[in-house]
Amino acid sequence: MMIAMKATVYGLREDERPLFAKEAERFPEIELVLTKEYVTEDSAALAEGADAILITAPCTITPALARRLHGAGVRYILTRSTGFGHIDRQAIQNYGIRAANVPAYSLNAVPEFCLLLTLNLLRNFKRESKMLEKKDFSLSGIQGKELGTMTVGLFGTGRLGTREAQLFKAMGCRVLAYNPHPREAAKPYVEYVTKETVLREAELIVLQCALNEENRHMINTETIAQMRDGVYLVNTARGGLMNFADVLDGLKSGKIAGLATDVYDHEETFVRKNCAGMDLGDPVMEELMGMENVILTPHIAFFTEAAIRDIIHTSLENLREFARTGGCSNEVYQAKQS
């Protein structure tokens, strides 16, 4: 039996439009209303009569917004992201709204991008690009390192971390890993060691772990001091894992040879926005962006057609599961009991 559902999709990007159109054919019971606007108290009216909303990470669900959505009839919030910290747990529970996320999507998008950042960093591609813009074809300052000769230290061996370990191993690296709970699937590619051993022995440190209160700013003055001189850092996980002011100091002193990061602490102030000509109000980031041994990308490691297709499909599957069973295997907060 087909269950008719209506969902408002907020924060629609143009690259998502054809993918939503294709997925809509597979979910005929769901009527989709698409809008480029992010969900706010003002735009909540677009969800009037909808059973659900599909949002992105920049959409923050506050108590006031939860009240507006509840009044519009919204029962489900499906975030098109893995993280769900932008959804106020107490707020949605107070109004009986359920929420689900996309815990996994493309296995290759982030690991491939991590490898791309790493190779660009080790081969001084940013400096080389700037030289070519000036028609400087010399070899001055661009001698690189071969990844396969290096010891990689990996923090995090979940699904993506394991895939990254596999790629680094295939390149010829020795891969040391730290994870509170060693993963059997990663063992063919890594040597599990203590975090202190990773910091002390790795020539290249890669972050692919979840962010929590225990590891916030795990890369800081103290841990940087434990690292080898000339260490390289790569982060495709979460910006909050690094104290970027401390990393900047490490770069200036030469302790850190280079940084490549797809994420930044408190990146919500600029990510997904065109800030051309604007003062970002973050002198640390401004200085990092100007350094030739720093590569900073705006949280785009996930951004492939395959990944977006997976994210949209899982979001709609989440809604279908809620409608058919009253629950969802990807639910992030349990509904408040009456």
Instruction: Respond yes or no: is residue 267 known to be catalytic.
Output: yes
Catalytic residue (choose from 68, 80, 163, 238) = 238
Rounded Cα distance, 166 and 151, in Å: 14
CA count, 13 A, side-chain hemisphere, 173 = 30
Taking Cα atoms as reference points, which of 255, 244, 262 lies closest to residue 208?
262
Active site residue 217: no
Alpha-carbon distance of 295 to 236, in angstroms, equals 12
Q: Judge contact between 75 and 98, C-beta under 8 A.
A: yes
Q: Which stretches of the chain are DSSP H helices?
A: 17-26, 63-72, 89-94, 109-122, 125-133, 159-170, 195-201, 221-226, 244-253, 283-289, 305-325
Which residue among 299, 309, 320, 321 is the active-site one?
Answer: 299
Q: Single out the catalytic residue among 163, 267, 309, 317.
A: 267
Task: Examine the residue annotation and report whether 238 is marked as an active-site residue of this protein.
Answer: yes
| Coil, helix or strand at residue 54 | strand
What CA–CA distances, in Å, run from 123 to 147, 229, 254? 9, 18, 17
d(CA 7, CA 331): 17
Question: Could you tell me which residues come within 8 angstroms of residue 227 by beta carbon, excluding any fewer than 6 positions away?
Answer: 199, 200, 202, 205, 255, 256
Which residues contact residue 135 at a Cβ distance below 8 angstroms, ignoring those fewer than 6 apart? none
Name the residues annotated as catalytic.
238, 267, 299
